[in-house]
Structure 1
Amino acid sequence: MVGDSNSYSVIYTLHEVDVCRYRSNIPNLLAYVLQIYRFLVIISMTSPNAPSLVGKNILIAGSILESTDGALARRARDFVKALAAEVIHHGGRLVVYLGGEPVDSNGDGLTFDWLIAREVDALCPGEQIAPRLIVVTSERNRREKMTEEHRKLIAQLTMRNVCDIVPLHDATVTGGNIGDAQVDVADAMFAVGGGKGVLDRARKLAKLNIPTLASDIEVGGYSNDGEGAIGLHRQFMNDPTSLMMFTGPAAVKRVLALSLQEPVQSAKDIAAASVALIGAELVAKQDAARTDVLVLTALAVELTAAKTAFSIAPEASPRRTESGINYWRSQQRRADGTIVTCDVASFGNAGNVNAASMTSTLISELGPTLVLMVGIAAGMRDKCKLGQVVIAERVVGYEGMAVVQGGKEEARPEQYPLNPRVRQDITAYLSAPMQVKERLDNAWKLHELTMPEDVEAGPVTDTSLPELSTIASGEQLLRDTARFAQLRELHGKIEVVEMEAVGVHAACHHNSVPALVIRGISDFGDSTKDGRFHALASNAAALVAIDLIKSGLGA
């Protein structure tokens, strides 16, 4: 259990076992076992299996007063470097403000931002598929306050895609605006030294329930204008939930062991334990969040693709609804900085009846504001390509019919158009094809998704861009091109067929929740198959789904 997200929730809700209190009335052996268990719990929180920070932006705020004792200043810098390394090691991104770099008489920085930038540069020497550093800066800062060495470092980090620039307008570069820009992207903050600026950032983050963990090291602050991290540390010790709402009361019991002022362990170990504390808080915060988007799949290959796209570890333990349905939770940051909570679940098999039933149950238990069905489908050979992704602008249930006078059967297809709000989101999304394609191409590269060439089963897509399509849905697993073609008699725009969309849409319609279906084309509804496209098309569809959500779908 140690290392997965659920284990950290358990660890931080366990009451501390005070062995000494019970030593007089339990066998010494049991007391010793309890002590060993307590030690292992602590060790597990500082192990390499600490909670994942993938997708999380971590701000390390603070500075050092120039007159600070040299040994303390070196200890603070060593800790910041170790903290940066821990964040990067666990998949997180670091947030810095880069302008001028004040230094002491030895040429050592009095703020930590450039120290962090250099550490990330060393930790990520090659080209990165995804940025590991978020840099808040302005053009005036770059021209007037940075040295040639600074500008060259930023250029190299940008060239290797190590950093992502958050530009500030020259006219708005003030302490408050810099702090606001950092707060807008941060998921958590560590504070070391500093003054008023550190306090201001922590208070703004606290209003958003974003955690801060402050060090007790007494290094003052570059501007010498307030207590900074020392004041926050005192606040946390007296009112732990003010800075860590969910796990503060448990975390405060560990903070004294993480002292930098009077350390009892190395800076590296303190950094690892500090990241574990913040990681546990982020897990607990995620657990407490309401569901924004429910992401549904039918088959195992589709579930695997969805978990991968939503940065859910393969070994992550699922949560379980009251009715016993497994689901996995992920939080994603939208382009506007808001956090969206996504729950990923699977029906376990194909079919509209099962899809309708499970969708209704999950809507009732999780209460999402949007339901997204993601997976594979068959496309018409002359209309689609293998690996292509389609977004359903309309779902047609092709099996509905009526038996009229004389025993004649008349088709009565059900139709579900897009919810008007969802249609607006999709229209806005597809109106910027170059930007969408660039993001999706990068996602394909990140996930090593490559479509094969010279495939005997049929033509293969040459683009990551999705297209709108009308999807037919029923209980039949089609392997007959003639039957596929007949579906167009029900609706002339049908190009894709699958087995769950009507059930999902029907359940969502009855529960007044918008629904959207995204499918990757894995075959052409005939006997010619290429098994590789089950995974390839599933992954392509899942990457479109996550990109849509991050771009504002359902906001």
Structure 2
Amino acid sequence: MNTPYAKLSDLLRSMFNAAELRAFLRRLPSGTDLVDALPEGLGSALLAGEAVDTLQRRGRVDRELFVHLVGYAPDRYDEIADVARAWGVVPPPRPQSGVRAGTVPPQEHSSGHDELHREEGRNRGPVVSQELDSVDVAVLVALEEEFEQLRSLVPGMTPVPDPQFGGYYYCFDVGLTGPVYRCVARFIGNMGPDRAGLFADRLIARWHPRVVVMVGIAAGLHDDIHLGDVVVAEQVNAYLSDTKAVPQGEEGWSLLPRPRVFEGNHALLQEVANFRFVHAAAYGAWCNAGATDLEEQVDAAARKKLVSKGLIEVKPSLHRVHLASGPVVVAANGFAEWLRSHDSSIKAVEMEAAGLLEAAATRVEPSRALVIRGISDLGDERKSKLDAIGKGGLRRLAMRNATRMLLALLEAGVLPRGGGQS
């Protein structure tokens, strides 16, 4: 029977020998675990069948798998796309003409300084010279744990040292059709608006991006917002930026917030608002990938409990929100209520967006900016328990959903492009 299982098994068997298949699988997300689960000593035919069984059991027959396959063998795009459709997966975009097919696993393919690495389908990991001084998209991430998830979804990054301030920038390309987006990422290593503003200012000054994007996790503060959902900031409320301490009673005092408010970029927000309608297939693929990740990051018992309590849904949703931003880790319902008492439209809270937006806005030529956050907790006393589920599973899920949304926007070509060198 020409079943989806048989189609994928035949495709893998025709593309790889046994050693090549193991090497290819190892480069997938959680690839080492996949390969370790396969029996030793099998030939290519049997190994291909075992690989499909393992991928199916783990929910990894998804769009990412087919992006990897296209990146490995772009000349076989039509066959790969046919198999993807058989599994109910939206195929990745057709690669650019002239891209040569690989004959060895991607990490072994590059043989010279000018060769582009094709570790993943959407990313060709260019060799980046120190002379490159502009990009299309600059991505800022606060924490190392968040950057680990970004890097797992965007492998093939090229590290570029920062000789002035230390650390590294990480360059990568996104896009399989037409001109690619030239991108750079940097993680801060700490939380808070001051550090975010400092790093954002350096990032913009060094790379002159067409748009700068903050990607990370946040806490949801509204019943509309569920764990794993992704929020994009229409407005960022820097709630403690100009706060005044005022008398209360004879000896008491209270904080009188006079927040600075940063508006999101109208054109970018319109693209986000219309994304699920104009790019319905891409939005559906994003939802499905989030559902798969939920199963991987949260065990069945915990997942069932969260769903029954209405804290999470099987598939994530995308929201445009008013976002509170400040130097406080919010883990108390009373504080969340205090935030919303001053702006009832606030639906999420985090710690870096205000710094990034101020750095983007306070320039002779302001930079366009976008804030994309995945919801990892609910900003109340349950935070520590939610963070402990799956040893940070909800935090990883939130970051991966936010990262995938950024990649979906890039693959759809809706963000500004043209700042990087051609």
Q: What's the TM-score once normalised by structure 1's chain length?
A: 0.52
Whether contact under 8 Å (1:475, 1:499) holds in the other structure is yes
Which residue of the partner structure matches residue 356 of structure 1? 197
Q: CA deviation at 1:281?
A: 1.2
Letter in 2 for 1:535: R
The structure 2 residue matched to 1:522, chosen from 376, 379, 401, is: 376
The structure 2 residue matched to 1:384, chosen from 222, 225, 237, is: 225
Which residue of the partner structure matches residue 439 of structure 1? 285
Q: CA deviation at 1:488?
A: 2.2
Q: CA deviation at 1:157?
A: 7.1
The structure 1 residue matched to 2:154, chosen from 287, 310, 314, is: 310
Counting aligned pairs with the same residue, the percent is: 24
1:453 is aligned to 2:304: yes
Q: CA deviation at 1:457?
A: 8.6
Q: CA deviation at 1:397?
A: 0.7
Distance (Å, rounded) in 1 between the aligned partners of 2:243 and 2:347: 24
Letter in 1 for 2:152: T
Q: CA deviation at 1:528?
A: 1.1
After superposition, give the CA deviation of every residue in 1:373-394 in whole Å (9 maximum; x if it has no partner). 1111111153422222111111
Q: CA 1:88–1:187 in structure 2 vs 1: closer, same or farther (change >3 Å)?
A: farther
Which residue of the partner structure matches residue 412 of structure 2? 551
After superposition, give the CA deviation of every residue in 1:138-158 in whole Å (9 maximum; x if it has no partner). xxxxxxxxxxxxx9x996675
Letter in 2 for 1:518: I
1:541 is aligned to 2:385: no
| SS at 1:482 equivalent | helix
Q: Which deviates the most, 372-381 or 396-405?
A: 396-405
| SS at 2:110 equivalent | helix
Which residue of the partner structure matches residue 30 of structure 2? none
Distance (Å, rounded) in 1 between the aligned partners of 2:162 and 2:152: 22
* Larger Rg computed on CA atoms: 1
Matches within 5 A, 1:71-470: 126=52, 128-129=61-62, 130-131=65-66, 132-133=69-70, 158-160=85-87, 164=91, 184-188=96-100, 275-277=109-111, 281-283=115-117, 285-288=126-129, 290-312=134-156, 318-322=159-163, 323-333=165-175, 336-380=177-221, 382-401=223-242, 410-432=256-278, 434-444=280-290, 449=296, 451=298, 452-455=303-306, 459-470=311-322
After superposition, give the CA deviation of every residue in 1:106-159 in whole Å (9 maximum; x if it has no partner). xxxxxxxxxxxxxx999966374332255577xxxxxxxxxxxxx9x9966752
After superposition, give the CA deviation of every residue in 1:282-318 in whole Å (9 maximum; x if it has no partner). 1584414642211111112211111112235xxx773
Q: CA 1:159–1:326 in structure 2 vs 1: closer, same or farther (change >3 Å)?
A: same
Q: CA deviation at 1:350?
A: 0.5
CA RMSD of aligned residues (A): 4.2
| SS at 2:184 equivalent | strand
| SS at 1:337 equivalent | coil
Whether contact under 8 Å (1:425, 1:554) holds in the other structure is no
Unaligned runs of 5+ in 2: 1-13, 26-43, 118-124, 249-253, 418-422
Q: CA 1:414–1:157 in structure 2 vs 1: closer, same or farther (change >3 Å)?
A: closer
Q: CA 1:163–1:528 in structure 2 vs 1: closer, same or farther (change >3 Å)?
A: closer
After superposition, give the CA deviation of every residue in 1:351-378 in whole Å (9 maximum; x if it has no partner). 1001101110111112222111111111
Q: CA 1:402–1:187 in structure 2 vs 1: closer, same or farther (change >3 Å)?
A: same
| SS at 1:385 equivalent | coil
The answer to which structure, 1 or 2, has the higher relative contact order (CA under 8 A, 6+ apart) is 2
Letter in 2 for 1:454: K
Q: CA 1:510–1:473 in structure 2 vs 1: closer, same or farther (change >3 Å)?
A: same
Unaligned runs of 5+ in 1: 1-79, 92-119, 138-150, 167-180, 191-267
Q: CA 1:473–1:186 in structure 2 vs 1: closer, same or farther (change >3 Å)?
A: farther
| SS at 1:543 equivalent | helix
- Count of residues paired in the alignment: 339
Distance (Å, rounded) in 1 between the aligned partners of 2:172 and 2:99: 14
Whether contact under 8 Å (1:377, 1:520) holds in the other structure is yes
Which residue of the partner structure matches residue 489 of structure 1? 341
Q: Which deviates the most, 357-366 or 478-487?
A: 478-487
Distance (Å, rounded) in 1 between the aligned partners of 2:402 and 2:354: 18
After superposition, give the CA deviation of every residue in 1:255-280 in whole Å (9 maximum; x if it has no partner). xxxxxxxxxxxxx89x9999332685
